[in-house]
Amino acid sequence: MTVPTITLNNQTEIPQLGFGVFQVPPEQTPDTVSTALEVGYRHIDTAQMYQNEQGVGRALADSGIPRRELYVTTKLNNGFHAPDDARRSFDQSLEALGLDHVDLFLIHWPLPTLYDGDYVSTWRTLSEFVADGRARSIGVSNFQPAHLDRIVAETGVIPAVNQIEVHPYFCNEDARAASIRHGVEVEAWSPIAQGAVLDDEVIGKIAAAHGKTPSQVTLRWHVERGDIVFPKSMKRARMEENFAIFDFELTPEEIDAISALDRGEDGRRGPNPDTFDYVPA
């Protein structure tokens, strides 16, 4: 099954479906990622704060898959926003992954209440990694409309993606609309709301009509709206299930019915980027 690609604003391409490794224990990461690659995933999303970059790198190296066929994303640790820290941590990510470049490097959180509110210099620093060829693309994660507007206005550098929480119970339309307005592609983390939507009656009825699972229908909803998704599972059967979403389509009415499940801020499951200030010890 061929995964469609989306062309980013710098004319590079990203697979619309990937595999996430959030909360995959480091010691289990090599086997988990290896299984995902066997299933057919070629887009892997990790982060410095997940502490499993090394395991991802080992699985990639052991796979024998040519580097050009892989798409690898990692993200900046919240404790390393100062420019020199960002440079050092990026070097460490490449070393841990065993790669000479990543396809996408993101600021994980804007942290507007920390670093004297300066995430602009952090963003400017990421541009260096594109200039020297060690990152094909750069982007942001969890950036609100005001955060996006500010970095674009002050640097003129438009992110390739904005990775934000999006699922049927929290459509996050303001952040999605701001991203789209700037020509930034939306990546949806927690695409099935950590499983919360799988028992939803509306999604269940649509799934039954298509002979699909609620997870497949929810991921298909994302894909048809243009989101880039990377569901995470440590079970091969679930990996295969999540991968099999390109042999059916939802009707416009079904898409609208799922979108109508949005609960606004009450549906948010992760922290609010305007106030989130966690920095790992």
User: Which residues are catalytic, by number?
Assistant: 50
CA distance 206 to 267: 21
Q: How does 15-54 read in b/e, with b if 16+ C-beta sit within 10 Å? A: bbbbbbbeebeeeebbebbbbbbebebbbbbbbbbbbbbb
Amino acid at 91: D
> Percentages helix, strand, coil for the chain, rounded to the nearest 5?
45, 15, 35
Token duo for residue 105: 């490097």
At 135, phi and psi to the nearest 5?
Answer: -135, 125
Distances (CA, A) of 64 to 37, 69, 143: 10, 11, 35
CA distance 134 to 154: 23
The helix (H) or strand (E) run that includes residue 221 is helix 214-225
